[in-house]
Amino acid sequence: MIKRVFRRICVFSGSRDGYNPAYLQAAHDLGATLATQNVELVYGGGSMGLMGAIADSTLSYGGRAIGVLPEFLATEKLAHKGLNKVFVTQDMHTRKAKMAELSDAFIAMPGGLGTFEELFEMVTWAQLGVHAKPIGLLNTNRFYEPLLNLIEHAIQAGFIHETHRQLMIADQDPSGLIEQLQKQPELDLPKITDLDQT
Ligand code: AMP
């Protein structure tokens, strides 16, 4: 089996800590895993919540962290000050495109609306064949179980094609998740224009 090689992974995560300390611990563990595997972190460039925690952890284990911020979030208060590189984009759209361009894979950690939006844009781009990069969910505390159930529900209701179930891989363990993403074979997805209604 050919394993994919990741130079950079983009991580979407909450700008808050979450109530359960397991979430901060997971950000710490994922940052440490990226650093020790020599994979650069690409993320939203913030200093707060799980975003700040994963960047701090990556850096403290000797890894590299790249922030991509839109102008209006690149402030003294919000931006992380210790990053190896920062890209400031004009707006949120160019920010997401830049994060996608820089990265070989995507991981969504627990988070809120911003995290969901970023995750789903990458999934819908994959669904349409805009990119073929693996997408993972770090399923700490089974955080993503309701989302996976919702997707299953939408498949059963005929709104998501069942082959698109493969677009997201979930794992509770950071290194287990990265390994699954590395081993993901090239997906043979139907072209959206060829999908029938069954
Ligand atoms: P949320 O999940 O709603 O906390 O939003 C987190 C996602 O939205 C991150 O992956 C960021 O890309 C973006 N975001 C939200 N708040 C900030 C912030 N204060 N600084 C930088 N990016 C943010």
Ligand 1 mutation pick, 96, 115, 143, max ligand atoms within 8 A of CB: 115
CB-count burial class (<10 Å; 0-12, 13-18, 19+) for 103: buried
Distance 71 CA to ligand 1 centre (A): 13
Per-residue model confidence as pLDDT tens digits over 129-180: 999 999 999 999 999 999 999 999 999 999 999 999 999 999 999 999 999 9
Q: In the chain, what are the domain boundaries?
A: 8-184
Segment (H or E) for 12: strand 8-12
Question: Is residue 125 in contact with ligand 1, taking CB distance under 6 Å?
Answer: no
Q: Give exposure, 42-80, as e/b (b: 16+ Cβ within 10 Å).
A: bbbbbbebbbbbbbbbbbeeebbbbbbbbeebbeeebbb
Nearest CA to ligand 1 atom 7: 114
From edge to edge, which strands make up the β-sheet containing 135-138?
85-89, 65-70, 40-43, 8-12, 105-108, 135-138, 169-171
Quote the pTM value.
0.95
Q: Supply the DSSP symbol for 105.
A: E
Class of domain 8-184: alpha beta
Per-residue model confidence as pLDDT tens digits over 75-105: 999 999 999 999 999 999 999 999 999 999 9
